[in-house]
Amino acid sequence: MEFRQLPTPCYVVEEGKIEDNLRILKGVMERTGARIMLAQKAFSTYALYPLIGSYLTGAAASGLFEARLGAEEMVKPLAERGKRCENHIFSPAYREEDFPQILEYCDHIVFNSWKQVRRFSAQAKAAGRSIGLRVNPECSTQEGHAIYDPCAPGSRLGVTRANFEAGLAEPDGRELLSRLDGLHFHTLCEQDSDALEKTLAAVEEKFGKYLGGMKWINFGGGHHITRPGYDIPRLERCIRRFQENYRLEVYLEPGEAVALNGGELVTTVLETGENGVRLAILDTSAACHMPDVLEMPYRPPLRDSREAGEGPFTYRLGGPTCLAGDVIGEYSFDRPLREGDRLVFEDMAIYSMVKNNTFNGMPLPAIALHEKSGDYRILRRFSYEDFRERL
């Protein structure tokens, strides 16, 4: 299949770009001995899991379904080829009825509270699983994105030092601590390694005296390792310092870094008009197909366009839903847009397919793979039945 034959809207995953990112991450692993996992919450196109698992240590899940996906689409296929992959999970709370399956699928299980450790850790240890506790170092390094800041006041994610020590003061506190194999934190979002370095200082200050009894530490995600200009040497110094000072295995679980700039969303102009500004209605929706545009918010890059006002023809691009705010942004072009034109939004592999929805009965975009050979292959097309069966 050629590009012009793709249906729209359509996510296109770039196999070559994903592999370029994987080579960078594997380089960090080889130079430091750290273990890097795919955080499936950012990118779950499992057709590429065998490729990803051949470079990385495994997959990290946020719930039962992701854990099963990682086990079935990465761990099992690569085990058949002689490559062992790990499967980790963290959830703010686990359901009693789900836990037997989690034990079946996962090697590492990270809890979010001492209550959860008390409730489930004996089962996990009896099954031979490695267990950890997520901590909150109360060190915010983000600006402007409170929705993505696990260290914001009142956060439900991770145990603060006060709550960590209160748990130890309970009658069974020390015994529960002895069950832990590691500590986990996740505080970053699209950040460089200077933010990690600052966070590690806070982790040491608040929890350093407990690290000596652990086997591993998980630095979480949010590391933009594959972004041009990211300070990889600083990241590697951070990893080595914890390995050498505490004799710990170091894990990282980036999601965006695996698929950064690894895909596009192809869309068609349905209609143009004007209401004080030039308008273009597309067959893709910010609300349904790229929700981070509204949640962050941010303006996604659009191929062959410029900032509003920089070119002779500026348009406000929006989706076909009834939501007045279903607006992707304003872009300028060298020529007027015409109905039937194709537009290509870039960096659309991350937090798009995993978060899309069918509000207003919007069809889900097809998913295609742009193979290294140059060919395009449809991985999945969605129909009315996919919409109906969710309801």
Looking at the fold, whether 366 and 379 belong to one and the same domain comes out as yes
What was the pLDDT predicted at 296?
86
Looking at the fold, whether 147 and 163 belong to one and the same domain comes out as yes
Give the number of domains in the chain.
2
Let me know if residue 23 belongs to a domain.
Answer: no
Looking at the fold, whether 385 and 240 belong to one and the same domain comes out as no
Which CATH number goes with the domain that contains 380? Answer: 2.40.37.10
What was the pLDDT predicted at 203?
98
Let me know if residue 19 belongs to a domain.
Answer: no
Looking at the fold, whether 268 and 243 belong to one and the same domain comes out as no
| Structure confidence by residue, pLDDT tens digits, 208-251 | 999 999 999 999 999 999 999 999 999 999 999 999 999 999 99
Looking at the fold, whether 241 and 267 belong to one and the same domain comes out as no
Average pLDDT over residues 316-332: 98
Looking at the fold, whether 176 and 286 belong to one and the same domain comes out as no
Which CATH number goes with the domain that contains 245? Answer: 3.20.20.10
What was the pLDDT predicted at 360?
97
Q: Which one of 234, 259, 284 terminates a domain? A: 259
Looking at the fold, whether 312 and 198 belong to one and the same domain comes out as no
Would the CA dihedral through 76, 80, 84, 85 be positive or negative? negative
Beta strands in the chain (DSSP E): 10-14, 35-39, 58-61, 86-90, 108-111, 130-134, 182-184, 216-218, 249-252, 263-274, 278-282, 306-307, 313-318, 327-333, 342-346, 366-370, 376-380
Let me know if residue 172 belongs to a domain.
Answer: yes
Looking at the fold, whether 232 and 316 belong to one and the same domain comes out as no
Q: Is the pLDDT of residue 330 over 90?
A: yes
Q: Are 188 and 195 in contact (CB under 8 A)?
A: yes
Secondary structure (3-state) at 7: coil
| Structure confidence by residue, pLDDT tens digits, 117-173 | 999 999 999 999 999 999 999 999 987 677 889 999 999 999 999 999 999 999 999
Looking at the fold, whether 250 and 319 belong to one and the same domain comes out as no
What was the pLDDT predicted at 196?
98
What was the pLDDT predicted at 142?
84
- pLDDT, mean over the chain: 97
What was the pLDDT predicted at 56?
98
- For the chain, give the percent of residues with pLDDT over 90: 97
What was the pLDDT predicted at 145?
74
Looking at the fold, whether 97 and 229 belong to one and the same domain comes out as yes
- Domain range for 110 is 33-259
Let me know if residue 344 belongs to a domain.
Answer: yes
Let me know if residue 25 belongs to a domain.
Answer: no
Looking at the fold, whether 235 and 332 belong to one and the same domain comes out as no
Q: How confident is the model at residue 80 (pLDDT cuts 50, 70, 90)?
A: very high
Antiparallel, parallel or unpaired: β 278-282 and 313-318:
parallel
Let me know if residue 18 belongs to a domain.
Answer: no
What was the pLDDT predicted at 376?
98
Q: Is the pLDDT of residue 325 over 90?
A: yes
Overall pTM > 0.85: yes
What was the pLDDT predicted at 26?
98
Looking at the fold, whether 250 and 286 belong to one and the same domain comes out as no
Let me know if residue 253 belongs to a domain.
Answer: yes
Let me know if residue 45 belongs to a domain.
Answer: yes
